[in-house]
């Protein structure tokens, strides 16, 4: 995941991240989601169980969450996560942040 976020940043897509380690969810999880306009949920379960748990247990609107699903039996890769998030970010009309140049350049 860290590698995917670094690659996305080179494409101008800057994201925060939170790793969910267990259920029931800590209070910080719904707080993190509420603090963001849109959240990508990276999961390796065909039924998108994590997204369902977040919507049901935390009262999160399902429209706020987008599942990045990988469930073909192989390990999830940085390339897969990067491609899926970049494609879905375009669908949401996410405009990459353009960092201002400083100095004499």
The pLDDT value given to residue 100 = 54
- pLDDT bucket at 59, cuts 50 / 70 / 90: very high
Residue pair 71/81 in contact (Cβ under 8 Å)? The answer is no
Buried b (16+ CB within 10 A) or exposed e, 6-42: ebbeeeebeeeeeebeeeebeeebeeebeeeeebbbb
For the stretch 21-41, pLDDT in tens is 989 999 999 999 999 999 999
Is the predicted pLDDT of residue 79 greater than 50, yes or no? yes
This prediction's pTM: 0.80
pLDDT (0 to 100) of residue 93: 66
Q: What is the mean pLDDT of the segment spanning 59-88?
A: 93
pLDDT at residue 47, as a whole number: 82
């Amino acid at each position: 995941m860290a590698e995917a976020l670094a690659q996305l940043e080179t494409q101008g897509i800057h994201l925060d991240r939170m790793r969910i380690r267990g259920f029931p969810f800590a209070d910080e999880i719904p707080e993190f989601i509420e603090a963001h306009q849109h959240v990508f949920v990276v999961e390796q379960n065909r039924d998108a169980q994590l997204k369902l748990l977040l919507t049901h247990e935390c009262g999160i609107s399902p429209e706020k969450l987008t599942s990045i699903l990988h469930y073909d039996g192989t390990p999830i890769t940085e390339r897969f996560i990067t491609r899926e998030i970049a494609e879905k970010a375009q669908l949401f009309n996410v405009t990459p942040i353009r960092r201002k140049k400083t100095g004499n350049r």
